[in-house]
Structure formats: structure tokens, C-alpha cells
Amino acid sequence: GEPPFRRTTVESTLAAVLSHEPPEPERAGSLGPLITGLLAKDPDRRPEAEEAAKVLDAVAEGSPVPSLAETPVVVAQKPDRMTESGEDSGTVRLKKPEPAARPDSTVVPEAQRDSTVVPEAQRDTTVVPVPKPKPRLLRRPLPAALLGAALAGGVGLGASYVLAEPEPAPAPISVAEPRYSSTPAATATDIADEPWGRTREKDMKAVLYVPSRYKEDHRQGDATDQPRMVIYDGGEVQLRLSEWDAAPATPTGRAKQQADEWARIGAADTQFTETSLQGRPAVVADTTYDAEEGRPTRVMQLVVTTDDGRMYELRVDMPKGTPDEKEGTSVFKAARDRLEIEKAAS
């Protein structure tokens, strides 16, 4: 009942479909090894038609099932037990794709073949022996009950395999087999890898790094109106930096004050972690609360104090349980790691 190649993002799911073997079905019984073998990405590792027929006959007769030669061993990765960081746990899961028809294995017409001329010095003229094509499993009539059982056990894996890599047609024997190289498809970059801008907040005595596509949305505060604050808006995600010339509380005390305010708005849950930033005492607060409009919201904060009594609060607000949550956590981590706080004047 689970997609065999499900990952936390579309890109990683497609990469798994292309490069990973499907896990062995858990409810196929004695047919499990046979189904796994037939779905192997390497055609040379698939069982012969005669081997498959023996297994099906044994299952139908209730006899011991003969072992398959060179059956690939795959450790099933359970989608519901995938390792995933707590900050990214709201990632939206992909729906199971509809089964697709298996493409026909046809020989490509001569007119459609790649006719690119390769310089003589770069050609590989080594003649590679072409193995005899293996007989197709379904050429031998099989009992309808066994065929139905095999399809029922492997339909989920079969659909993913067909989408990932159709079986290639045999190469003509009279032509030397070319050698190909392949590289994995590039995945979408994280926002931390996108262009960021360096902004020096002179009055705050700090340098804040902000994603280039985020725009300044609000600014307030001065020497007599504390705290100083600047907010950058990225759509559903907001990044802000606040600074007090004199810390109103300890880092933990400030974080707990904020947690109490959110608890008055709606149901809230906050996790506190004591840490440090560039040798200065700090605390990280991770809060989830129900906003006034009823939408779950997540807030990540870093509160830090300096030797001369200043306090800084780096904060990122994001919607909980949406793809924007993943962007928000990445923005917080990158902005936290790049934040520069100037030392006190001597």
C-alpha cells in the first residue's frame, strides 16, 4: 500500500526511481523472490522463462519453491520509517502514480537512429559480443490463477519500474555495440544554495544575510525606541532581526516570554535548546501554534546576548505542514550560520 520509491521531495523520488532497485514485496509469499527478480533493472539479472515457469508450477502445486540463480537481494526501505529531520517533518507526501502501460520493445528504425559522425580517432571499434536474447516469460502459457497472483503481488512495483526504465530492444548483431556513460539528473537546489545578499545593519551593529528574492517589508526602532527591527518577506516565509541595546531578559527568558504570548493566541508547543553563537550564550526556540485565522504556524528563533549587554533575536515565521515549511527551516539555518554580530567597542 506504499509507493516503493517515495522520498521527501519530487526530485529525490525521481532519482530513486532511476537508480534504486525496487524492494521485495512483503505480501507476495513464495512469489516474492520471482517478482523481485523479474523487476530487476539489469536485464541480465532477471530469471529465464524456464526458471520462472518452474517457480510458478511449484507454487501452484504447493511444492517447495526452487531458488532462483543470481536473484538480486534488496533490503526493503519502508516509506513510513524513513529517516527524516524533525524540522522537515511537514513535507507533503506524493500521491501514488496511476499504473502505466508497459511500452512495447520495438527495434528503432534506421532513419531514427543517432547518425552523428564521430571522428575516427575517438571511435571505439572494439566489437562487443551480443548475448543471445532471453526468451520472454509470457511466451509459455501459464495458469490464469498463477498469473493473477503474480500481477497482484507486483503491480505496485511494476508500475514504478515501467515508468523508470523500459526494457531496451536488442542491438543489431552486425554493428559494434557503442559504449555510453550516464550521470544522475541534477536536483533542484535548496534555498540555502540560491543567491543571498549581505546587508550591514549599521544601527544594529550586525550583518544579516538574506535570500536575494526576499524584499524588505518593515523597519522600525531607534536609540530611544527599542527594539530595532527589520523584516524581510519571501511570500509565505518571513525573516526578521531584532536588537536591543540593553537585553530585557536572558536568552531563555526572552524565548519563554514569546512562547507565552503565542499560547494566548492559540494552542502552542515550544521546544527550547540552549546553545551558543560565536562563543556567546544563546537559545533556540522552535514553536508551533494556531494563528488567529486557524492556520498552524511555525516560528524558529535564535536569541543571543553579547558581552556588553546587547540582545539579538533572529526569527523566521512559516506555515506549518506545507512545502513552505521546508524553505523556512532552510532560511533559518542559513541565516543563523551566516549572522555576524559586531564586537563591543573597546
Q: Name which CATH class applies to 191-341.
A: alpha beta
Q: Which residue has the higher pLDDT, 26 or 249?
A: 249
- Percentage of residues in the chain with pLDDT exceeding 90? 35
- Per-residue pLDDT of 117-171, as tens digits, reads 445 445 555 544 545 555 444 444 444 444 454 444 444 444 444 344 455 565 5
* Residue 142 parent element (H or E): none
pLDDT at 100: 52
Provide the pLDDT for residue 302. 97
C-alpha cell at 197: 545578499
**Domain ranges for the chain:** 10-116+129-164, 191-341
Which among 72-81, 121-130, 241-250, 292-301 has the top mean pLDDT?
A: 241-250
The CA distance from 166 to 32, in Å, is 21
When pLDDT is cut at 50, 70 and 90, the band that residue 206 belongs to is very high
Instruction: Retrieve residue 91's grid coordinates.
Output: 513535507
Rounded CA separation 27/38 (Å): 16
Helices (H), 179-231: none
Strand arrangement of the beta sheet that strand 206-211 belongs to:
196-201, 206-211, 340-341
pLDDT of residue 263: 86
Quick: pLDDT tens for 3-58.
776 666 666 777 777 777 777 777 777 788 888 888 887 787 788 888 888 888 88
pLDDT tens string 253-310: 999 998 998 888 878 899 999 999 988 999 999 999 887 677 899 999 999 999 999 9
Joined together, the cell numbers standing for residue 62 give 504447493
Between 4 and 73, the more confident residue is: 4
